[in-house]
Amino acid sequence: MSAFRIPGATIALTVVATLTMAVSVFAQQQNDPTQQNDPTPQNYARAQGGAQSQEQPASSGQIAPRAIQRLSREDTDRLAQAGGQQVRQPVRPFAELSPRDQQYVESILDYWQQESESIKLYECDFQRYMYDNSVVDYHDPKTGQPLAATIARGKIQYADPGRASYETEWIGKFAGPGKEYEEIKDEKGQYREKWITDGNGIYEFDYEAKVLYETILPPEMRGAGAIQNSPIPLLFGARKDQILERYWVRPITPPEGVEGEYWLEIWPKRASDAQTYLKTAVILSQDPFIPKAIHMYLPGYSPAKNKLKSVYIMFGKPTLNGAVLGFRNFVSRFARPNVPLGWKKVPRHAMTGGSAGAVPPQRR
């Protein structure tokens, strides 16, 4: 089962990074990278076309998960301690955007921030596809697209400020060509992934090892800042200034015929972020103007070297604000958890790194 391990606090830091990253050279594009409707890995790969940087050949559609697929304990420990290590500083992966394209990116970020700030309560289902050709190297004979090593379904919940939870309800692994995915189970008959943040810390449940990992955040990272250091950072509390300070961002042209979506590609500027992910594609829906899917590429991803590991997450239709029933009961789900009987608690140190009024206009 180690091939499918998932880190909790690491996941948080990864998806956080995932939802906010930078991009490769932006060729002059006639299409509007805003109107799309099919956030599948296959369509994302096609949409990338020739917009990759020299270091990143056109994607083959593979998807990697470090943001939500368990890593080996060795990887988890390496990432958890990365804050104290020196890593190579990322280099800008694409040329400066034209003034027109930069204005377009900033208009999207403005509207995204405005929509994100209006969300006080949030709940949605998600599906996660983890691709790793070192585990599963098989393509659908009809479509030619790669199949995921694992597929997971679960739920994400959020309450302002800075409280959230992520939990899987079912995880299945590739069982062979033409077969249904086989559910992954532990000795109790169920395999789960779960983390919670109460705004002061991030708590990851490792059911296999019976360990509760606790990452207490420093004062400056608490409250709303906890989400920026969790697995679902850019889903909530997206800030244009913080995104542009932390990531290189460019627009992506979506597949032809896709409408009602805005696509961005994000690359990390910080060495600590680049150690957990290479880049991330974010697909925003038009209503509400928040991510409906993300595609995170893990470090070392390279079609040229046949290293294809990434994770693709689709978010279901969300329930927002007043539509979330039972406020007190809902918010109580984010309380600092007690250590389950027979488990142990392991502390971790937090890694440190450091008005739009309408939908952005279409690019012509």
Q: Which amino acid, 296? A: M
Q: How far is CA 119 from CA 141, 172, 207, 237, 314, in A?
A: 43, 32, 31, 9, 19
What pLDDT is stored for residue 335 in this prediction?
A: 86
Give the C-alpha separation, 136 to 289, whole Å.
Answer: 34
Summarised one tens digit per residue, pLDDT across range 240-273 is 998 899 899 999 988 889 999 999 999 999 888 8
The whole-number average pLDDT for the span 26-54 is 34
DSSP string, 219-279: GGGSTHHHHTTSS-TTTS---HHHHHHHEEEEE-PPPTT--SEEEEEEEE-SHHHHTT-SE
Does 187 have pLDDT greater than 70? no
What pLDDT is stored for residue 191 in this prediction?
A: 76
CATH superfamily label, 2-349: Lipoprotein localisation LolA/LolB/LppX (2.50.20.10)
Which residues, 6 or more positions from 326, have their beta carbon under 8 angstroms from its beta carbon? none
The whole-number average pLDDT for the span 55-64 is 30
- The pTM score is 0.74
Which residues, 6 or more positions from 310, have their beta carbon under 8 angstroms from its beta carbon? 41, 62, 63, 64, 65, 131, 295, 296, 297, 298, 301
Summarised one tens digit per residue, pLDDT across range 150-164 is 999 999 998 887 788
Band of the pLDDT at 62, cuts 50, 70, 90? Answer: very low
Which residues, 6 or more positions from 69, have their beta carbon under 8 angstroms from its beta carbon? 4, 5, 6, 128, 130, 150, 152, 311
